[in-house]
Structure 1
Protein backbone atom coordinates (compact mmCIF):
# COMPACT_ATOMS: atom_id res chain seq x y z
CA UNK A 1 0.00 0.00 0.00
CA UNK A 2 1.18 3.43 -0.72
CA UNK A 3 0.89 6.13 1.90
CA UNK A 4 -2.30 8.09 2.14
CA UNK A 5 -1.80 11.64 3.34
CA UNK A 6 -4.65 13.60 4.87
CA UNK A 7 -4.65 17.12 6.23
CA UNK A 8 -3.02 16.08 9.52
CA UNK A 9 -2.08 12.42 9.18
CA UNK A 10 -0.07 9.83 7.27
CA UNK A 11 -1.68 6.42 6.84
CA UNK A 12 0.93 3.82 6.02
CA UNK A 13 1.98 0.21 6.50
CA UNK A 14 3.10 -0.67 10.00
CA UNK A 15 6.87 -1.08 10.32
CA UNK A 16 9.11 -2.93 12.80
CA UNK A 17 10.09 0.43 14.26
CA UNK A 18 6.43 0.93 15.32
CA UNK A 19 6.64 -1.97 17.79
CA UNK A 20 7.07 0.03 21.00
CA UNK A 21 4.58 2.78 20.16
CA UNK A 22 1.91 0.28 19.09
CA UNK A 23 2.63 -1.85 22.17
CA UNK A 24 1.97 1.15 24.42
CA UNK A 25 -1.34 1.76 22.62
CA UNK A 26 -2.55 -1.86 22.74
CA UNK A 27 -1.48 -2.50 26.32
CA UNK A 28 -3.63 0.44 27.47
CA UNK A 29 -6.84 -1.19 28.79
CA UNK A 30 -8.88 1.96 28.10
CA UNK A 31 -7.83 1.95 24.44
CA UNK A 32 -8.67 -1.70 23.80
CA UNK A 33 -11.70 -1.88 26.08
CA UNK A 34 -14.15 -2.33 23.20
CA UNK A 35 -11.88 -3.97 20.63
CA UNK A 36 -10.89 -7.48 19.67
CA UNK A 37 -7.47 -6.74 21.24
CA UNK A 38 -8.67 -6.46 24.85
CA UNK A 39 -7.02 -9.81 25.64
CA UNK A 40 -3.55 -8.53 24.68
CA UNK A 41 -2.27 -7.93 28.21
CA UNK A 42 1.47 -8.63 28.22
CA UNK A 43 4.46 -7.49 26.14
CA UNK A 44 5.05 -11.10 25.01
CA UNK A 45 1.40 -11.44 24.05
CA UNK A 46 1.66 -8.20 22.08
CA UNK A 47 4.88 -9.15 20.27
CA UNK A 48 3.34 -12.38 18.97
CA UNK A 49 0.37 -10.50 17.55
CA UNK A 50 2.54 -7.70 16.22
CA UNK A 51 4.70 -10.11 14.23
CA UNK A 52 1.89 -12.35 12.99
CA UNK A 53 -0.83 -9.79 12.37
CA UNK A 54 0.37 -6.20 12.06
CA UNK A 55 3.41 -6.59 9.78
CA UNK A 56 3.42 -7.27 6.03
CA UNK A 57 -0.30 -7.15 5.42
CA UNK A 58 -2.50 -5.30 2.95
CA UNK A 59 -5.15 -4.88 5.62
CA UNK A 60 -3.50 -3.09 8.58
CA UNK A 61 -2.18 0.48 8.64
CA UNK A 62 -0.44 2.76 11.07
CA UNK A 63 -1.80 6.23 11.73
CA UNK A 64 1.02 8.75 12.10
CA UNK A 65 0.85 12.47 12.78
CA UNK A 66 2.32 14.61 10.01
CA UNK A 67 3.84 17.19 12.29
CA UNK A 68 5.55 14.92 14.87
CA UNK A 69 5.76 11.67 12.87
CA UNK A 70 4.40 9.84 15.90
CA UNK A 71 2.35 6.66 15.60
CA UNK A 72 -0.99 7.37 17.31
CA UNK A 73 -2.95 4.27 16.34
CA UNK A 74 -3.94 1.82 13.65
CA UNK A 75 -6.77 1.13 11.26
CA UNK A 76 -7.43 -2.29 9.77
CA UNK A 77 -9.80 -4.39 7.72
CA UNK A 78 -10.72 -7.96 8.59
CA UNK A 79 -11.79 -9.47 5.24
CA UNK A 80 -14.83 -11.74 5.12
CA UNK A 81 -15.59 -12.65 1.51
CA UNK A 82 -16.31 -9.31 -0.21
CA UNK A 83 -16.78 -7.40 3.06
CA UNK A 84 -14.11 -5.62 5.05
CA UNK A 85 -14.88 -5.37 8.77
CA UNK A 86 -12.95 -2.45 10.15
CA UNK A 87 -11.25 -2.04 13.51
CA UNK A 88 -9.32 0.94 14.75
CA UNK A 89 -7.67 2.11 17.93
CA UNK A 90 -6.03 5.38 18.93
CA UNK A 91 -3.78 6.32 21.81
CA UNK A 92 -5.75 8.21 24.47
CA UNK A 93 -3.75 11.36 23.68
CA UNK A 94 -5.32 11.33 20.18
CA UNK A 95 -8.94 10.91 21.28
CA UNK A 96 -11.51 13.57 20.44
CA UNK A 97 -9.55 15.20 17.61
CA UNK A 98 -11.47 13.77 14.64
CA UNK A 99 -8.61 11.55 13.53
CA UNK A 100 -10.62 8.33 13.02
CA UNK A 101 -13.10 9.99 10.65
CA UNK A 102 -10.24 11.70 8.80
CA UNK A 103 -8.46 8.37 8.34
CA UNK A 104 -11.68 6.48 7.64
CA UNK A 105 -12.63 8.56 4.63
CA UNK A 106 -9.29 7.80 2.96
CA UNK A 107 -9.44 4.16 3.98
CA UNK A 108 -12.91 3.70 2.49
CA UNK A 109 -11.45 4.60 -0.90
CA UNK A 110 -8.59 2.15 -0.35
CA UNK A 111 -10.96 -0.62 0.78
CA UNK A 112 -13.22 -0.26 -2.23
CA UNK A 113 -10.64 0.54 -4.92
CA UNK A 114 -7.53 -1.43 -3.93
CA UNK A 115 -8.97 -4.28 -1.84
CA UNK A 116 -12.11 -4.63 -3.99
CA UNK A 117 -14.54 -4.82 -1.07
CA UNK A 118 -18.18 -4.57 -2.04
CA UNK A 119 -19.09 -3.57 1.50
CA UNK A 120 -17.33 -2.18 4.56
CA UNK A 121 -18.82 -2.79 7.98
CA UNK A 122 -17.90 -1.63 11.48
CA UNK A 123 -19.14 -2.86 14.86
CA UNK A 124 -19.16 -1.18 18.24
CA UNK A 125 -20.48 -1.78 21.74
CA UNK A 126 -23.66 0.14 22.55
CA UNK A 127 -21.91 1.49 25.64
CA UNK A 128 -19.46 3.30 23.31
CA UNK A 129 -21.76 5.53 21.21
CA UNK A 130 -18.90 7.82 20.15
CA UNK A 131 -17.77 5.08 17.76
CA UNK A 132 -21.18 5.15 16.09
CA UNK A 133 -20.88 8.92 15.61
CA UNK A 134 -17.49 8.46 13.96
CA UNK A 135 -18.88 5.82 11.59
CA UNK A 136 -21.68 8.18 10.60
CA UNK A 137 -19.12 10.93 9.88
CA UNK A 138 -17.35 8.48 7.57
CA UNK A 139 -20.55 8.18 5.53
CA UNK A 140 -21.59 4.79 6.87
CA UNK A 141 -25.23 3.80 7.44
CA UNK A 142 -26.62 2.60 10.78
CA UNK A 143 -27.67 -1.07 10.80
CA UNK A 144 -28.73 -1.00 14.46
CA UNK A 145 -28.13 -3.90 16.81
CA UNK A 146 -26.74 -7.12 15.34
CA UNK A 147 -26.42 -9.12 18.55
CA UNK A 148 -25.25 -9.08 22.14
CA UNK A 149 -22.14 -10.04 24.08
CA UNK A 150 -21.26 -10.16 27.76
CA UNK A 151 -18.73 -7.57 28.90
CA UNK A 152 -15.47 -9.31 29.82
CA UNK A 153 -15.07 -6.78 32.64
CA UNK A 154 -18.47 -6.79 34.30
CA UNK A 155 -20.47 -9.62 32.72
CA UNK A 156 -23.08 -7.00 31.75
CA UNK A 157 -24.74 -7.89 28.43
CA UNK A 158 -24.09 -5.24 25.78
CA UNK A 159 -25.56 -4.77 22.34
CA UNK A 160 -23.30 -4.98 19.32
CA UNK A 161 -24.19 -2.14 16.98
CA UNK A 162 -23.15 -1.96 13.33
CA UNK A 163 -22.70 0.47 10.48
CA UNK A 164 -22.03 -0.31 6.84
CA UNK A 165 -21.14 1.35 3.58
CA UNK A 166 -21.57 -0.37 0.25
CA UNK A 167 -19.32 0.36 -2.70
CA UNK A 168 -22.37 1.49 -4.65
CA UNK A 169 -23.32 4.03 -1.95
CA UNK A 170 -19.73 5.17 -1.65
CA UNK A 171 -19.50 5.72 -5.41
CA UNK A 172 -22.76 7.69 -5.41
CA UNK A 173 -21.75 9.88 -2.49
CA UNK A 174 -18.37 10.60 -4.04
CA UNK A 175 -19.78 11.31 -7.52
CA UNK A 176 -17.80 8.49 -9.04
CA UNK A 177 -18.86 6.00 -11.66
CA UNK A 178 -18.24 2.32 -11.28
CA UNK A 179 -16.22 0.76 -14.07
CA UNK A 180 -18.18 -1.86 -15.96
Structure 2
Protein backbone atom coordinates (compact mmCIF):
# COMPACT_ATOMS: atom_id res chain seq x y z
CA UNK A 1 0.00 0.00 0.00
CA UNK A 2 1.05 3.55 -0.65
CA UNK A 3 -0.25 5.86 2.06
CA UNK A 4 -0.84 9.36 0.75
CA UNK A 5 -2.97 10.82 3.53
CA UNK A 6 -5.98 13.09 3.35
CA UNK A 7 -5.64 14.70 -0.05
CA UNK A 8 -8.39 16.88 -1.52
CA UNK A 9 -10.99 14.96 -3.53
CA UNK A 10 -13.75 16.50 -5.61
CA UNK A 11 -17.07 15.35 -7.02
CA UNK A 12 -19.71 17.15 -9.02
CA UNK A 13 -21.27 18.66 -5.88
CA UNK A 14 -18.72 18.11 -3.11
CA UNK A 15 -15.20 18.94 -2.04
CA UNK A 16 -13.62 16.45 0.36
CA UNK A 17 -10.72 18.13 2.12
CA UNK A 18 -8.80 18.40 5.36
CA UNK A 19 -10.53 20.09 8.27
CA UNK A 20 -9.36 23.53 9.36
CA UNK A 21 -10.17 25.53 12.48
CA UNK A 22 -12.45 27.66 10.29
CA UNK A 23 -14.80 24.65 10.18
CA UNK A 24 -15.54 24.56 13.93
CA UNK A 25 -18.79 26.57 13.94
CA UNK A 26 -20.24 24.91 10.84
CA UNK A 27 -19.34 21.42 12.12
CA UNK A 28 -21.00 22.20 15.44
CA UNK A 29 -24.11 23.76 13.88
CA UNK A 30 -24.58 21.37 10.96
CA UNK A 31 -24.12 17.93 12.55
CA UNK A 32 -21.89 17.49 15.60
CA UNK A 33 -24.40 18.99 18.06
CA UNK A 34 -27.54 17.44 16.58
CA UNK A 35 -29.18 14.57 18.43
CA UNK A 36 -30.99 13.45 15.26
CA UNK A 37 -27.64 13.05 13.49
CA UNK A 38 -25.71 11.50 16.38
CA UNK A 39 -28.37 9.09 17.64
CA UNK A 40 -26.61 6.10 16.05
CA UNK A 41 -23.08 7.34 16.72
CA UNK A 42 -20.74 6.09 19.42
CA UNK A 43 -20.00 9.67 20.49
CA UNK A 44 -22.56 11.98 22.11
CA UNK A 45 -23.68 15.26 20.55
CA UNK A 46 -21.18 18.01 21.23
CA UNK A 47 -22.40 20.61 23.73
CA UNK A 48 -20.18 23.55 22.72
CA UNK A 49 -17.80 24.78 20.07
CA UNK A 50 -14.78 24.56 22.40
CA UNK A 51 -15.11 20.78 22.42
CA UNK A 52 -15.54 20.69 18.64
CA UNK A 53 -12.45 22.88 18.29
CA UNK A 54 -10.42 20.51 20.47
CA UNK A 55 -11.57 17.55 18.40
CA UNK A 56 -10.78 19.25 15.09
CA UNK A 57 -7.36 20.25 16.45
CA UNK A 58 -6.67 16.57 17.15
CA UNK A 59 -7.72 15.67 13.60
CA UNK A 60 -5.48 18.41 12.17
CA UNK A 61 -2.53 17.08 14.21
CA UNK A 62 -3.19 13.57 12.86
CA UNK A 63 -2.86 14.81 9.26
CA UNK A 64 0.92 14.66 9.73
CA UNK A 65 0.60 10.85 9.53
CA UNK A 66 0.35 9.62 5.94
CA UNK A 67 -2.06 6.85 7.00
CA UNK A 68 -4.66 9.35 8.28
CA UNK A 69 -7.70 9.68 6.04
CA UNK A 70 -10.21 12.14 7.51
CA UNK A 71 -12.14 14.44 5.21
CA UNK A 72 -14.48 17.35 5.81
CA UNK A 73 -17.35 17.20 3.32
CA UNK A 74 -18.02 20.62 1.85
CA UNK A 75 -21.09 21.22 -0.31
CA UNK A 76 -19.96 23.40 -3.22
CA UNK A 77 -23.13 25.42 -3.82
CA UNK A 78 -23.56 26.50 -0.18
CA UNK A 79 -19.84 26.59 0.64
CA UNK A 80 -20.39 24.90 4.00
CA UNK A 81 -18.97 21.85 5.71
CA UNK A 82 -21.90 19.45 6.01
CA UNK A 83 -20.29 16.27 7.30
CA UNK A 84 -17.23 14.07 7.51
CA UNK A 85 -15.95 10.77 6.17
CA UNK A 86 -12.88 8.94 7.37
CA UNK A 87 -10.95 5.72 7.72
CA UNK A 88 -11.61 4.82 11.34
CA UNK A 89 -9.55 1.64 11.38
CA UNK A 90 -7.05 -0.01 9.07
CA UNK A 91 -5.14 -3.27 8.95
CA UNK A 92 -1.95 -3.15 6.88
CA UNK A 93 -1.45 -6.92 7.00
CA UNK A 94 -4.56 -7.59 4.91
CA UNK A 95 -4.87 -4.13 3.27
CA UNK A 96 -8.25 -3.55 4.89
CA UNK A 97 -9.93 -0.34 6.04
CA UNK A 98 -13.13 0.56 7.84
CA UNK A 99 -14.84 3.78 6.83
CA UNK A 100 -17.18 5.89 8.97
CA UNK A 101 -19.22 8.91 8.00
CA UNK A 102 -21.66 11.49 9.30
CA UNK A 103 -23.81 14.02 7.46
CA UNK A 104 -25.99 16.95 8.46
CA UNK A 105 -29.66 15.95 8.47
CA UNK A 106 -30.35 19.08 6.41
CA UNK A 107 -28.70 17.22 3.52
CA UNK A 108 -30.08 13.69 4.00
CA UNK A 109 -31.84 12.06 1.07
CA UNK A 110 -30.03 14.04 -1.63
CA UNK A 111 -27.38 11.47 -2.56
CA UNK A 112 -24.49 13.38 -0.98
CA UNK A 113 -23.21 10.56 1.19
CA UNK A 114 -23.13 7.91 -1.56
CA UNK A 115 -21.33 10.50 -3.71
CA UNK A 116 -18.71 11.04 -0.99
CA UNK A 117 -18.37 7.35 -0.12
CA UNK A 118 -17.92 6.30 -3.78
CA UNK A 119 -15.15 8.89 -4.13
CA UNK A 120 -13.38 7.69 -0.97
CA UNK A 121 -13.71 4.03 -2.02
CA UNK A 122 -12.20 4.84 -5.42
CA UNK A 123 -9.31 6.74 -3.79
CA UNK A 124 -8.61 4.00 -1.23
CA UNK A 125 -8.59 1.26 -3.89
CA UNK A 126 -6.93 3.05 -6.81
CA UNK A 127 -4.47 5.38 -5.08
CA UNK A 128 -3.70 3.86 -1.68
CA UNK A 129 -4.04 0.20 -2.66
CA UNK A 130 -6.46 -1.21 -0.10
CA UNK A 131 -7.95 -4.61 -0.93
CA UNK A 132 -11.02 -4.44 1.33
CA UNK A 133 -13.17 -1.56 2.53
CA UNK A 134 -15.85 -2.15 5.13
CA UNK A 135 -18.36 -0.12 7.10
CA UNK A 136 -20.91 -0.83 9.80
CA UNK A 137 -24.27 0.57 10.76
CA UNK A 138 -26.78 0.19 13.57
CA UNK A 139 -29.65 -2.08 12.50
CA UNK A 140 -31.95 0.79 13.48
CA UNK A 141 -30.33 2.99 10.83
CA UNK A 142 -31.15 1.23 7.53
CA UNK A 143 -30.58 4.43 5.55
CA UNK A 144 -26.87 4.17 6.29
CA UNK A 145 -26.99 0.59 4.98
CA UNK A 146 -28.59 1.83 1.76
CA UNK A 147 -25.73 4.31 1.32
CA UNK A 148 -23.29 1.40 1.55
CA UNK A 149 -25.33 -0.75 -0.87
CA UNK A 150 -25.41 2.07 -3.43
CA UNK A 151 -21.61 2.04 -3.31
CA UNK A 152 -21.35 -1.69 -3.97
CA UNK A 153 -20.79 -2.81 -0.39
CA UNK A 154 -22.24 -6.27 0.27
CA UNK A 155 -23.95 -7.48 3.43
CA UNK A 156 -21.64 -9.76 5.41
CA UNK A 157 -23.57 -10.23 8.62
CA UNK A 158 -25.17 -8.80 11.72
CA UNK A 159 -23.17 -8.72 14.92
CA UNK A 160 -25.58 -9.05 17.81
CA UNK A 161 -25.26 -6.56 20.66
CA UNK A 162 -21.81 -5.63 19.38
CA UNK A 163 -21.63 -1.88 20.00
CA UNK A 164 -22.88 0.81 22.31
CA UNK A 165 -24.10 4.01 20.74
CA UNK A 166 -26.35 6.86 21.90
CA UNK A 167 -29.34 4.51 21.92
CA UNK A 168 -27.63 1.87 24.08
CA UNK A 169 -26.26 -1.55 23.20
CA UNK A 170 -27.31 -2.52 19.68
CA UNK A 171 -26.86 -4.93 16.83
CA UNK A 172 -24.63 -3.74 14.01
CA UNK A 173 -24.55 -4.70 10.36
CA UNK A 174 -21.25 -5.06 8.52
CA UNK A 175 -20.92 -4.50 4.78
CA UNK A 176 -17.81 -4.56 2.62
CA UNK A 177 -16.46 -4.31 -0.90
CA UNK A 178 -13.31 -5.96 -2.24
CA UNK A 179 -11.05 -4.42 -4.85
CA UNK A 180 -11.85 -7.15 -7.39
CA UNK A 181 -15.60 -6.39 -6.95
CA UNK A 182 -15.09 -2.68 -7.47
CA UNK A 183 -16.08 -1.28 -10.84
CA UNK A 184 -14.58 2.07 -11.77
- The TM-score, its normalising length taken from structure 2, stands at 0.82
* 3-state SS of paired residue (2:140): coil
1:15/1:55 contact within 8 Å kept: no
The 5 Å alignment of 1:98-113 reads 98-113=111-126
Count of aligned residue pairs for this structure pair: 171
TM-score of the pair, normalised by structure 1: 0.84
Q: Partners of 1:103 and 1:159 in 2: how far apart?
A: 25
User: 2:158 aligned with 1:148, yes or no?
Assistant: no
- Alignment correspondent of 2:177: 165
Change over 3 Å in CA distance of 1:19–1:8 after alignment to 2: same
Q: Structure 1 stretches of 5 or more lacking a match?
A: 175-180
Q: 1:178 maps to which residue?
A: none
Q: CA 1:153–1:108 in 2, change beyond 3 Å: closer, same or farther?
A: closer
The superposition leaves residues 67-113 of structure 1 with CA deviations (integer Å, 9 ceiling, x where unpaired) of 12111111111132122111111111111111000111111011123
Give the Cα separation in 2 of the matches to 1:86 and 1:131: 12
After TM superposition, the structure 1 = structure 2 runs for residues 78-157 of structure 1, keeping only pairs within 5 Å, are: 78-81=88-91, 82-149=95-162, 153=166, 155=168, 157=169
CA spacing shift, 1:66–1:78, aligned 2, 3 Å: same
Shift of the 79–152 alpha-carbon distance from structure 1 to 2, 3 Å rule, reads: closer
- Give the root-mean-square deviation of aligned CA atoms: 2.1
Structure 2 gap ranges (5+): 1-5
2:54 to 31, 48, 70: 48
